[in-house]
Amino acid sequence: MPIPTQETALADFLRTYPTFDHTALHALRSRDYSRLDKLGHVYLDYTGGGLYADSQLDTHQQLLREGVFGNPHSSNPSSQAMTQLDEQSRHYVLEYFNASPNDYVCIFTQNASGALKLVGESYPFGPHSHYLLTFDNHNSVNGIREFARAKGATVTYTPVVPPELRLDEQKLAQFLDLADPTYPNLFAYPAQSNFSGVQHPLEWIERAHAKGWDVLVDAAAFAPTNRLDLSRYQPDFVCLSFYKIFGYPTGIGCLIARKSALTKLQRPWFAGGTITIASVQGDGYYLADGEAAFEDGTIDYLNLPAVEIGLKHITDVSIDAIHERVICLTDWLIKNLVNLRHSNGNPLIYLYGPANTTMRGGTVTINFYDADNNWIDFRSVEAQANERNISLRTGCFCNPGAGENALGLTKEELADCFGNEESMTFEEFIRAMHGKGEDAVGAVRVSVGLATNFSDVYQFIEFAKTFLC
Ligand SMILES: Cc1ncc(COP(=O)(O)O)c(C=O)c1O
In the chain, where are the structural domains located?
A: 6-51+318-396+442-465, 67-315
Whole-number Å distance, alpha carbon 397 to ligand 1 midpoint, is: 9
User: What pLDDT does 416 receive?
Assistant: 72
CA of 113 to the centre of ligand 1 (A): 6
Q: Which residues pair with 277 in a beta bridge?
A: 286
Mutation test residue for ligand 1: of 45, 47, 111, the one with most atoms within 8 Å of CB: 111
Q: How many CB atoms lie within 10 A of CB 178?
A: 14
E-assigned strand segments in 212-337:
214-218, 237-241, 253-258, 275-279, 284-287
Tell me the angle at which helices 454-465 and 6-16 cross, rounded to the nearest 10 degrees.
Answer: 120
6-51+318-396+442-465 CATH fold: Aspartate Aminotransferase, domain 1 (3.90.1150)
- Atom nearest to 243 CA in ligand 1: 10
112 C-alpha to ligand 1 centroid (Å): 6
The protein residue with its alpha carbon nearest to ligand 1, atom 12, reads: 220
How far is ligand 1, taken at its centre, from the CA of residue 218, in Å? Answer: 8
Pocket test for ligand 1, best of 139, 140, 240 (most atoms within 8 A of CB): 140
Looking from the CA of residue 397, the nearest atom of ligand 1 is 14
pLDDT at residue 1, as a whole number: 60
Going from the Cα of 192 to the center of ligand 1, the distance in angstroms, rounded, reads: 11
CA distance 86 to 79: 10
Query: What is the structure's pLDDT at 396?
Result: 86
Is 254 noted as a catalytic residue in this protein?
Answer: no
- Asked whether the beta carbons of 364 and 330 are under 8 A apart, the reply is yes
Question: Which CATH number is associated with domain 67-315?
Answer: 3.40.640.10
At residue 148, the pLDDT reads 98
387 phi and psi, to 5 degrees?
Answer: -60, -30
Specify the residue with its C-alpha closest to ligand 1, atom 14: 48
Q: What is the structure's pLDDT at 2? A: 64
**Residue pair 221/244 in contact by the 8 Å Cβ criterion:** yes
Spatial neighbors of 285 by CB under 8 A, at least 6 apart, are: 270, 275, 277, 278, 279
Which residues are near ligand 1 (CB < 6 Å)? Answer: 47, 111-113, 138, 140, 190, 194, 218, 220-221, 241, 253, 398
Atom of ligand 1 nearest to the CA of 253: 10
The Å distance, Cα 194 to ligand 1 centre, comes to 8
Say if residues 134 and 193 touch (Cβ distance below 8 Å): no
Q: Which atom of ligand 1 is nearest to the CA of 115?
A: 11
Mutation test residue for ligand 1: of 135, 198, 216, 398, the one with most atoms within 8 Å of CB: 398
CA 79–ligand 1 middle distance (angstroms):
32
Per annotation, catalytic residue among 106, 328, 396, 398: 398
The residue to mutate among 194, 198, 396, 447, having the most atoms of ligand 1 within 8 angstroms of its beta carbon, is 194
Tell how far the Cα of 220 is from the centroid of ligand 1, in angstroms: 6
Question: Closest ligand 1 atom, CA of 222?
Answer: 1
Regions of the chain short of the pLDDT cut 50: none
Q: Give the number of other CB atoms < 10 A from CB of residue 15.
A: 8
Which ligand 1 atom is the nearest neighbour of the CA of 398?
A: 14
The residues near 57 (Cβ < 8 Å, ≥ 6 apart) are 248
Contacts of 266 (CB under 8 A, 6+ apart): 122, 124
Please check whether residue 469 is in contact with residue 342, taking contact to mean a CB–CB distance below 8 angstroms. Answer: yes
